[in-house]
Chains A and B, each alone.
Chain A
Amino acid sequence: MADKKRYTDEEMIARVWDIENIKTLINKRVYYICNDRRSEEIADLWVKDPENKKTAAFGRNWGWYVGMDEIRRYYVDSHIERLRTQQRENGAPDINFGNLYAHPASTGLVRLADDGDTAKGMWYSIAQETIALTDGTADARWMLERIAVDFIRENDNWKIWHLMIAADLNCEAGEDYSEQPVYIDWDNDPVKREFGKPTVECLVHDPTFNWWDDYPFMPMPYATFTDDLSYGPEGFKPNPNKGLAAGEGRNYK
């Protein structure tokens, strides 16, 4: 843990606003998701610096897409392709017709590095996605997920650098959570299928039996950013969870 550093009044209020601006950045992302403006999210909220773009990462339970080109391929291009398929199958007039997205973030915890160049944050989201089906109804699905983010300052603006969204549960609205199968059928899991095949494939958070694998880990005070602190792949350490170490859970490579 970093030593407790002392700041001037000017530094203190600047740091207070840094944290406010980081929270606002993540809150804006919530509304971009409501609007399904993924391309604009990347343009407005993610890193722009060429070096940072190379190391940017978007992770979920099963690994990371690394680099903004790969992130865009997954997060924007594949998504639009799926929406076009849905539109065709539903005979809908527009893409996203009958769809609804909400991933509100709460319980924010933000740590600003002592040097003020980076920050780390964690939120929880009780989210939902509702996808129109061919029969005129919709699959309304709860999605409970932990959101962990590395931020970096670029030209005095905060940007998302590494984003990890670790799902704990998804199930149809109206279903009993406790009736969910212990062993999730990943092949038919909509979140897993949506994530596809990432650049770095690795099981980082396994909700089977509600494992306490502590990933993504909680941000702690720190002086300056180092790779081992990252929510990208370079900061992941296989957790000591006994079940996972014993190969329990599922046949995941």
Chain B
Amino acid sequence: MTSYTHPTYSTEQLVERWESQREIKNLMGKYANCVILNREDELFDAFWAGGENDVCLVFNDGYYKGAEAVRSYYMAERERNALVSKLLRDRFPEQLGGKNDDEIYGIGPFKVNPMACPVIEIAGDNASAKGLWYCQGAYNKVEECGPLAHWTWGFFAVDFINKDGAWRILHLQQVNDVDSICGMSWGRPQKIPSPLPEFMALADFRYPAYTESVTIREQYNPRRPFTGAPRIPEPYETFSETFSYGIEEV
């Protein structure tokens, strides 16, 4: 029969740490849900640590560092969503022609980031935490060729801080191994459909420049050197003792 006395934490501390873990899981669930609803413009204020912190949002080919840069990326995503909605209204005037910009906002893009396999480590001082998730996702993006569905295999690797009793994102890596057209093997060459004139306006759309454009993670191809998962969180006492999912500028 197993003994139930924890070597480090009291019963109350064990409950508190379990609640922290649950809040962190819920935070990422809410983040994913906001993305499904195309509410990227709400993400920074709702879930991030805020301007006074060294926030960093990382993708495969670069990163945004600092509050202004991270926020500008999310606002650009909203702008693109709005542009796509208008192009679809032009494309489907019978169904959408009578609706204003607010009413049609969000039609078109569909971005699903189901997060599974969490490994979460809460610092011994309960002031920060780290989490790693596997994300077997999918998204439908309206591109110059029109709507195009992708499936993705990748990771969310996140540092959190406990800010006034609430958990917030400090650094977030959303990196994929596979971002491939649905229904086609990612091990073979893929053919992207030709552009359509009604969606050509998207060719002029640009996301804000990264703080630094740099290959963080090469996407999978049969000539890619073997690439493992982001580092798994390990037990730690305080954030300065562990590694960071943020990127240090050179």
Chain A residues proximal to chain B, CB less than 8 Å: 8-11, 13-17, 20, 24, 27-28, 30-31, 34-37, 93-100, 102, 104-106, 115-117, 126, 128, 130, 132-133, 136-140, 153, 156, 172-174
Contact = CB atoms under 8 A, between A and B. Distances in A.
**Secondary structure at chain A's binding surface: helix, strand, loop or mixed?**
mixed
A137 B222 contact: yes
A14 B10 CA distance: 10
A13 to B, nearest CB: 5
A105 B116 contact: yes
B166 interface: no
A139 B185 CA distance: 8
B210 interface: no
Nearest to A102: B153
A90 to B, nearest CB: 9
Contacts of B153: 100, 102, 128
A20 B20 CA distance: 13
B222 A102 contact: no
10 contacts: A28-B119, A31-B132, A31-B229, A97-B223, A102-B153, A117-B1, A137-B187, A140-B188, A153-B2, A156-B7
A97 B220 CA distance: 11
Interface residues of B, number: 40
Interface of B: 1-2, 4-7, 11, 14-15, 18, 21, 116-120, 132, 134, 136, 153, 177-178, 183-189, 220-229, 232
Given A24-B119, A31-B119, A153-B2, A13 B15 contact: yes
**Max count, chain A CB within 10 A of own CB: residue among B21, B178, B184, B187:** B187
Nearest to B220: A100
A28 B232 contact: yes
Contact of A104 (B5, B134, B184, B225): B134
A140 B119 contact: no
Given A138-B188, A172-B185, A13 B11 contact: yes
**Secondary structure at chain B's binding surface: helix, strand, loop or mixed?**
loop
Given A100-B220, A117-B1, A138-B222, A20 B18 contact: yes
A154 to B, nearest CB: 11
A140 B223 contact: no
Nearest to A137: B188
Contacts of A116: 1-2, 4
A133 B222 contact: yes
Contacts of B228: 31, 34-37
Contacts of B136: 102, 104, 126
Contacts of B177: 100, 102
Contact of B187 (A8, A94, A117, A140): A140
Nearest to B188: A137
Contacts of A115: 1-2
A27 B6 CA distance: 23
Given A27-B118, A172-B185, A94 B226 contact: yes
A79 to B, nearest CB: 13
B162 to A, nearest CB: 19
Nearest to B119: A27
A201 B184 CA distance: 36
A174 B151 CA distance: 11
Nearest to B18: A16
Contacts of B232: 28, 31
A139 B15 contact: no
Nearest to A156: B7
A173 B186 contact: yes
Q: What are the 5 closest A-B residue pairs judged by CB atoms, nearest first?
A: A138-B187, A116-B2, A35-B228, A140-B187, A96-B226
A10 B4 contact: yes
A173 B14 contact: no
A216 to B, nearest CB: 20
Contacts of A16: 14, 18
Contacts of B120: 24
Contacts of B229: 31, 34-35
Nearest to A113: B2
A10 B11 contact: yes
A117 to B, nearest CB: 6
Contact of A31 (B21, B117, B184): B117
A9 to B, nearest CB: 6
Given A28-B232, A31-B119, A106-B116, A10 B5 contact: yes
Contact of A132 (B1, B189, B222): B222
A136 B223 CA distance: 7
A13 B14 contact: yes
